[in-house]
Amino acid sequence: MTLLATLLLLTISEVAILATICLIAGMVRGFSGFALSAMVMASGALIIPPVQLIAICWWLEMTASLFMLRSGWQEANRKVAIGLAIGSTLGVPFGLALTTAIAPEQSKLVALGVIIVLAALQLMRVRMPFLVSNWGLYGSGWLAGVATGLASVGGMVVALYVLAQQARPRQMRASLVLFLFLGSVTTMISLLSFGIMDQTAVKRGLVMALPAGLGVVLGKLLFVPKWEHLYKPFCLTLLIVLASTGIIRLILGA
């Protein structure tokens, strides 16, 4: 464990806490179809700066997407998922530029604030009819890319777009899975360009992908269709609580 901590440039307790966070976040992704990165960011931003977590989350999202891609491809609205991924590709560099330009403490506040706002909008089921257009499709993708660069929560922006379409829950879940996979492929280019995906990030990502992948498998096994309507409100409420707690701790200097 000490050797692993040294390899990841973290303390033993930080490795244990982060692995636990990734396991739980993977379970949430497994039965809800989203919120893996948001959960990791909301809980882990107090341990690792968001700009470093974004690189780790890339590996987690790719791992989860590979586990869930088959059903996502079959049931998703592919045209929408591809359009969103194109917009996201253009938006990620803007988010990363902002994240890397501000101090770590400020980036933590920004990341947690973005999570709270997006989770609250989804929890209140805010629909934005203007999104039901081609401009809305690519614009939502661009905003998702910016959110990915800020806090690795592009999937939550896309969830708002899908909500505006009034799509079936199963199709919404599948479209999110497909978008997150396609978006992960293009996001890697931006992460490499900004120097964020370095050797340490790769090591951390590969190690943390193991508990996250295990969590996804457990989450899929725990998925019960009759409770599907309860998963999303629960996850969103949990995200708001975690992110709010993180902001309070940052403000109080705890």
Q: What is the Cα–Cα distance from 90 to 94, expressed in whole angstroms?
A: 8
The predicted-structure confidence for 112-154, as pLDDT tens digits, reads as follows 999 999 889 888 887 777 676 788 889 999 999 999 999 888 8
Specify whether the CB–CB gap between 199 and 122 falls below 8 A.
Answer: no
Average model confidence (pLDDT) across the chain: 86
pTM of this structure: 0.85
Question: Looking at this protein, which amino acid is placed at residue 37?
Answer: S
Could you tell me the residue ranges of all domains in the chain? 2-252
The encoded tokens of residue 17 equal 């806490």
pLDDT of 73 reads: 64
Q: Residue 130: exposed, middle, or buried by beta-carbon count in 10 A (0-12, 13-18, 19+)?
A: exposed
The encoded tokens of residue 48 equal 């690792």
- pLDDT for residue 223 is more than 80: no
Q: What is the Cα–Cα distance from 135 to 164, expressed in whole angstroms?
A: 13
Q: Which residue has the tokens 């991924």?
A: 85
Determine the distance from the C-alpha atom of residue 209 to the mean position of all C-alpha atoms in its chain, rounded to a whole number.
14
